[in-house]
Amino acid sequence: MTEYWWKDLRDRDDSWQGLELRVRAGDGQAMEMQSGHNGRMALQVNGETLFWATMLKDHAGVWLVFNGEHPAQALLLPAVTSAEVESAKRAGESNWQSHWCRYFARQLMEAPTPLLPPGRWLLRPMEQVKPTAPYIVNKPLPFEQWRFQTPASSAQISVNWALYSEDFPDLQNPEKVTFVDWWWGGHLLLARYPVEANSGRVKWWRKKCRENALPPVLVWFIAGLASFVILDGHDRLQAAILEGTQPQFLVLSELSEQVYTPNEETRERVLHSLAIQQEKCKKTGANIDAMNQSLLNLYDTRYLYAQTHSRAVLGDGKGWERAVTAYLQRHQLNDYLPKILAREE
């Protein structure tokens, strides 16, 4: 039996930032990152590799190989029901995000094989970003202009995500080989299986799009892949794209915390500068909110960030190389092999 609990994560201004999830014990997990020498990685789902990956020698990016032969990829979490959609409506707009965070936390942990190993986790929304240029409020944005970002925070939370429509996969035909360029872009959205655009499930979600009742898409940010893997919501995302309606995302990530020791000389210089600014504020009546924020940052030595643990079980990577070589040969993708095995772009 897995032991877990959660609490709302709020910043200094009491603004809700997401749901912090603590997992104490478990009986294994459905998803696991594995690693080995020579930058070799593998993301396994239910004991079978879903993605092979390898980091470039110069750490400028990573090659991803999607295993389209993975069995039962779609059976990771139970399907969202109509009753749950109606329950989210009753929760109200102000509680909509936190409602879905709690829902997916339960699903992740109470599945027959829990997805999350013991540790500290965060479920955080990634919302639509409105364009800065003048635009018509009620007119849908073209797909090419879709952009998503985590909400602003007054705390030192370095778990800030951004996603652009150009980094979405072709959900009906996911690419088997992808290069993630860490210098130009990065953070791709990765599908776990192909979607049938005319399926009954997609049609039902298109109806929910028109009713403004589409649940968020749940994704897992994996630092080693520098990408988001869709855990739940392939059909919802396809429906949103077909309807031209921007969805919302919930990002799952491991959460770590460090306490750093500030440089006292630097701190004294900042304090001296703030004292001068305070005297000016007395004369001009200027707003001192920025000064207060600087003071808080100066003495808040906690730093929250995301990471992804892996098990170092791939050894020298020879088994990884054999599996990748065989897979690419079966799918007539041999042209990629030299660069992938050599870890070059």
Q: Where do the structural domains in the chain lie, given as residue ranges? A: 3-258+306-342, 261-300
Helices 200-210 and 234-243 pack at an angle, to 10 degrees, of 60
Tell me how far apart the alpha carbons of residues 282 and 213 are, in angstroms, rounded to a whole number: 50
Burial of 60 (0-12, 13-18, 19+ CB in 10 A): middle
Half-sphere exposure of 92 (CA within 13 A, CB side): 2
The confidence score (pLDDT) of residue 82 equals 94
pTM for the full predicted model = 0.86
pLDDT in tens, the chain (345 residues): 568 889 988 877 778 888 999 888 666 667 889 999 999 999 998 888 999 999 999 988 999 999 999 876 667 888 999 999 999 999 998 899 999 999 999 998 887 777 888 888 999 999 998 877 666 666 788 999 999 998 877 666 767 888 999 999 999 999 999 999 988 766 899 999 999 999 999 999 999 999 999 999 999 999 888 899 999 999 999 999 999 999 999 999 988 777 666 667 776 776 667 677 776 676 665 566 666 666 666 666 666 767 788 888 999 999 999 999 999 999 999 999 999 999 999
The confidence score (pLDDT) of residue 28 equals 63
Place of tokens 């000064």: 291
Those residues with Cβ within 8 angstroms of residue 118's Cβ, 6 or more apart along the chain or in another chain: 23, 24, 25, 26
The confidence score (pLDDT) of residue 27 equals 61
- The DSSP symbol for 167 reads G
The confidence score (pLDDT) of residue 332 equals 96
Considering only CA atoms, give the Rg of the chain. 22
The confidence score (pLDDT) of residue 266 equals 72
Burial of 232 (0-12, 13-18, 19+ CB in 10 A): buried
The confidence score (pLDDT) of residue 308 equals 82
The one-letter amino acid at 214? L
